[in-house]
Amino acid sequence: MTTEIASEPQVETPIWKIEWSEALSVGITDIDEDHKRFARLVNELNRSIVDRAQLPEIRHRLQMIIDDAVQHFAHEERLFKEWQYPDSQSHAAIHAQIIKKLQAIMSSNVSTCLNAPWIEAGLQIKTVLIEHILKEDVKYTKSYLNHRGPLPIN
């Protein structure tokens, strides 16, 4: 049995490539760095799918995204305590839902050699992560700024 992604019409454009832009910035360097790493991992998964990489490689890249998400969410949740972010509990609950969703995507695609479901999976991952940054992560910037206080004037 081959583990190569089955031959289907070649997708020329990586339709869910994440282009980093200031619109995705939450205004906190450490967090932006985490999010950029996230975007890089998602783009690498996309590249593997478009290049019809071997199935173990695709699964490995998806697992790397899940591991990275777990690590990043824990990072944010540690900072919430420091910043006394009032919505930390509901935000952490959303993190837990996202991890479940990523794991569900992994299990539903784990052995498929078809390209289309993986493209769809990649699109879902991208959407979930980008929406989370834009809808939820941006909300904690205020708590960070309150915690940090004004920058000293040189």
The closest alpha carbon to 94, from 55, 136, 150, belongs to 136
Binding characters for Fe ion, 84-123, by CB under 5 A (x = yes): ----------------------------------------
4 contacts 49 by C-beta, under 8 angstroms: no
Scan residues 57-86 and list those touching Fe ion (CB under 5 A): 76
**What number of chain residues touch Fe ion (CB under 5 A)?**
2
Q: Which amino acid is at 10?
A: Q
Residue nearest to Fe ion (CB): 137
User: Residue 140: is it exposed, middle or buried by C-beta count within 10 angstroms (0-12/13-18/19+)?
Assistant: buried
Min separation Cβ 19 and Fe ion, Å: 17
Could you tell me which stretch among 1-9, 58-66, 107-115, 130-138 binds Fe ion (CB under 5 A)? 130-138
Question: Which x/- pattern over 15-54 shows residues binding Fe ion (rule: CB under 5 A)?
Answer: ----------------------------------------
Q: Which of 52, 91 has the CB closer to Fe ion?
A: 91
Q: Locate the DSSP E strands across the chain.
A: none
CB 123 within 8 A of CB 15: yes
d(CA 142, CA 145): 5
Using CB under 5 A, pick the residue from 119, 121, 137, 144 that binds Fe ion. Answer: 137
Of 137 and 143, which has the nearer Cβ to Fe ion?
A: 137
Overall size of the chain counted in residues: 154
Minimum distance from residue 109 beta carbon to Fe ion (Å): 24
SS3 70: helix
Binding positions for Fe ion, rule: CB under 5 A: 76, 137
